[in-house]
Amino acid sequence: MKHIVCFAALAAVATSCNALAVGGIAEVTIIDRSTGVALTPHLYHGEYWVAGKPGATYAIEIRNHLDQRLLAVTAVDGVNVISGATAAWGQTGYVFNPGQDYRITGWRKSDAEVAAFTFTAAPNSYAARTGRPANIGVIGVALFRERQPLSEAAGTGQARPRDSLSPKSASRSAEPAATPKLGTGHGEREYSYVTNTGFDRMQTQPNEVIRIRYDSLDNLIAMGIVEPFRPAVPAANPFPASAQQQYVPDPPAGGAGELQ
């Protein structure tokens, strides 16, 4: 089976903020491409959630923290982002060189083109339009280490240090969603070049699986995952047209005057 490795101009890719990433041997960050901002992950009942903006394009940024190559089999809404097949661990994925990072920006259409990931209403998502709506709203990355020759196996594959993630953990029970569920659409075509390479997995099961769920901000608030924003209430005067009551003022500073 062929696996895909990306040879993008990595210098042009913005560095992600570790505090906004999820993962261990690699970290995954969801980027709103319309603003360039990394979406904040919120930990809720053991799952990470991010709030997507309907209509915005987004990218899945993956950063390899190993000193060896890594395979990332990536799925959106239960669909493999390269082949379009219903996602499974044994399928094709992106191969990352040691320390490499790359943004997956869409559904792979060819070696030179993708259809952009877009946040859209669930019925308009690629998964729903292809008859697979059961897993809409989840991004998955299955990570595989590469099998090393025996002479090179010792001392390799150690994860590089990174900042720890400290997301908010909510304890309230979920409430019904306020708006239609968010999914990922099949957006406009854009340039994205890759080439093929081989990859021998260390094992059949992933070394790590990263799972990030997403929905609109309104829905995350309705489910109790994100606290609603409460602006400060300005002071109000019940009698704005009435002058304030005045009392006898203090005398001016100075000594007593002389009597005549």
Give per-residue pLDDT as tens, 3-61. Answer: 555 544 332 333 334 567 687 899 999 999 999 999 999 999 999 999 999 999 999 99
pLDDT category of residue 131 using cuts at 50, 70 and 90: very high
Average pLDDT over the chain reads 81
Lowest mean pLDDT among 16-20, 142-146, 205-209: 16-20
User: What are the structural domain ranges in the chain?
Assistant: 3-222
Residues with Cβ within 8 Å of 2's Cβ and at least 6 positions away in sequence, in order, are: 92, 196, 197, 198
Supply the pLDDT for residue 141.
Answer: 96
Whole-angstrom distance, CA of residue 183 vs CA of residue 193: 25
Dihedral angle over CA of 233, 235, 239, 243, nearest 10: -160
Supply the pLDDT for residue 258.
Answer: 57
Supply the pLDDT for residue 157.
Answer: 42
pLDDT category of residue 237 using cuts at 50, 70 and 90: confident
Question: What tens digit of pLDDT does each residue of 65-124 get?
Answer: 999 999 999 999 999 999 999 999 999 999 999 999 999 999 999 999 999 999 999 999
Looking at the chain, the whole-number percentage of residues with pLDDT higher than 90 is 62
Give the up-direction half-sphere exposure of residue 260: CA atoms within 13 A in the CB hemisphere. Answer: 0
Residues with Cβ within 8 Å of 142's Cβ and at least 6 positions away in sequence, in order, are: 72, 73, 74, 75, 89, 93, 206, 208, 209
Burial 190-200 (b: 16+ CB within 10 A, else e): eebebeeeebe
Q: How far is CA 210 from CA 75, 139, 244, in A?
A: 10, 8, 63
Supply the pLDDT for residue 82.
Answer: 96
Segment (H or E) for 219: helix 217-222
Supply the pLDDT for residue 234.
Answer: 77
pLDDT exceeds 70 at position 184: yes
Q: Which 8-state DSSP code applies to residue 126?
A: H
Give the residue, 150 or 161, on which the prediction is more confident: 150
Supply the pLDDT for residue 149.
Answer: 76
Q: Among 112, 79, 73, 80, which Cα is nearest to 94's?
A: 73
Supply the pLDDT for residue 248.
Answer: 79
Classify residue 204 by burial, with Cβ atoms within 10 Å: 0-12, 13-18, 19+.
exposed
Supply the pLDDT for residue 245.
Answer: 66
Q: Is the pTM of this model over 0.75?
A: no
Give the chain's largest Cα–Cα span.
Answer: 115
Q: Among 69, 209, 223, which Cα is nearest to 139's?
A: 209
Are residues 220 and 49 in contact, defined by beta-carbon separation less than 8 angstroms? yes
Whole-angstrom distance, CA of residue 3 vs CA of residue 60: 18
Residues with Cβ within 8 Å of 93's Cβ and at least 6 positions away in sequence, in order, are: 3, 4, 71, 72, 73, 74, 82, 142, 144
Give the residue, 210 or 167, on which the prediction is more confident: 210
Segment (H or E) for 191: strand 182-191
